[in-house]
Amino acid sequence: MLKNIHQAIDQSYSEMVEIRRHLHQYPEVSFQEFKTAQYIADFYEELGIPYETNVGGNGVIATLTGGKPGKTVALRADFDGLPIQDEKEVPYKSKHDGVSHACGHDGHTATLLVLAKVMQAYQAQLPGTIVFLHQHAEELTPGGAKPILESGALDHVDAIFGTHLWAPLPVGVLQTAKGTFMAGADRFEIIIQGVGGHGAAPHETKDAIVIGAQLVTQLQQIVSRRLSPLKTAVVTVGVFEAGETFNVIADTAKLIGTARYLDVETQEQLIQEMDMIINGVCVSHDISYTFDYQKGYPPLVNHVKEAELVLEAGKAIDDIHTTEDALPVMGGEDFSYYTLAKPGAYFFTGAQPEGEEYPHHHPKFDIDERALPIAAKTLIQTYFNYQD
């Protein structure tokens, strides 16, 4: 049966591309994906597959109950876009100014929708139940995964699997990890309140830019000099705002950034070290400050057994020539909440486009659409592996 399912997925390739390109033209940012959620609901309505809407927010969950006994497994796809201008010159370029699918979530959605359509034809022969989980708001904390779990909609699920179409990997490569796969991702904001003044009289001021620059430099020393070399972490200051004109010393500065880590102990050390550094620098300059540290998604930790099932699934698919047990990446993913609550695993499906490649979250980001059926086959192959 699986061979026939794989063939049916291949035969549905053009429909996957059509859906993906439609969604690509009409992206919606996190927590505002109302029309996208309606599109998904309408698809299941037309198929006649039972579904729920407004799950934990804009989430949509469809359920295909097989004709044979078995386990209940959720397959997840996210569907939010990003507040990034689409700069690609393609026929399916975003029609929404300042918003684009710059991470591949349109492809995730198209993959899962068409997989549901294919599997409906095999419902009588299907062991167990497939839960098609369409999740909103992956890109922005607090995310969509946590409220979906809190809604109780997945309480009956035995396991959960998901994939990311991953542009850094060539088509035909599958990666996952038996254990920690993606980093915890936090956000911080520091506001320095100094004393401004004339650029010709710096001795009469408390220069927020100079103080902020010291903070940027010292925060980088947390990873290089305060953490064990055996620990993995990142501290990045992505925003430094201060000053308005060339001859005035700024009285305030704002620093915004992210901290990434692979275990909770490292996260706590990062917070403590940042607090000490910020306090020490600001006290030494006799100025006030605020430090707001916001914990985001926890690290994504795959369950070993479920990750092994994914790797086994990849080896059974003709389009996949390489399956790899990969090192963790420092990107964050709210799929982490699912694996905290349920057995499961997340994996990367290679989707590197031919020609010039742009990273995820880039204005010219795109994927090789040949990855769509590969992702669908891997998800359903993993589903069947879990039933054994």
Known catalytic residue: 138?
A: yes
- Positions of the chain with pLDDT lower than 50, given as ranges: none
Known catalytic residue: 80?
A: yes
- Catalytic option among 28, 33, 78, 80: 80
**Same topology for domains 2-182+299-387 and 186-294, yes or no?**
no
Helix (H, G, I), strand (E, B) or coil at 116: helix
Identify whether the C-beta of residue 307 lies closer than 8 Å to the C-beta of residue 178: yes
The label of the residue with tokens 């009469």 reads: 204
Distance, in Å, from the CA atom of 307 to the CA atom of 34, rounded to the nearest integer, reads 33
The burial class, CB within 10 Å (0-12 / 13-18 / 19+), for 293 is: middle
Domain parsing of the chain, residue ranges: 2-182+299-387, 186-294
User: What pTM value is reported for the model?
Assistant: 0.95
| pLDDT of res. 356 | 86
Could you write out the three-class secondary structure of 181-240? EECEEEEEEEEEECECEECCCHHHCECHHHHHHHHHHHHHHHHHHHCCCCCCEEEEEEEE
The label of the residue with tokens 């742009």 reads: 358
| pLDDT of res. 355 | 87
Query: Domain 2-182+299-387: which topology?
Result: Aminopeptidase (3.40.630)
- Catalytic option among 33, 78, 138, 306: 138
Cα-flanking dihedrals φ and ψ of residue 307, to 5°? Answer: -65, -40
Q: What is the CATH number of domain 186-294?
A: 3.30.70.360
Q: Mind listing the pLDDT tens digit for each residue in 16-67? A: 999 999 999 999 999 999 999 999 999 999 999 999 999 999 999 999 999 9
Q: Mind listing the pLDDT tens digit for each residue in 168-213? A: 999 999 999 999 999 999 999 999 999 999 999 999 999 999 999 9
Residue of 185, 186, 163, 191 lying closest to 176 (CA atoms)? 163
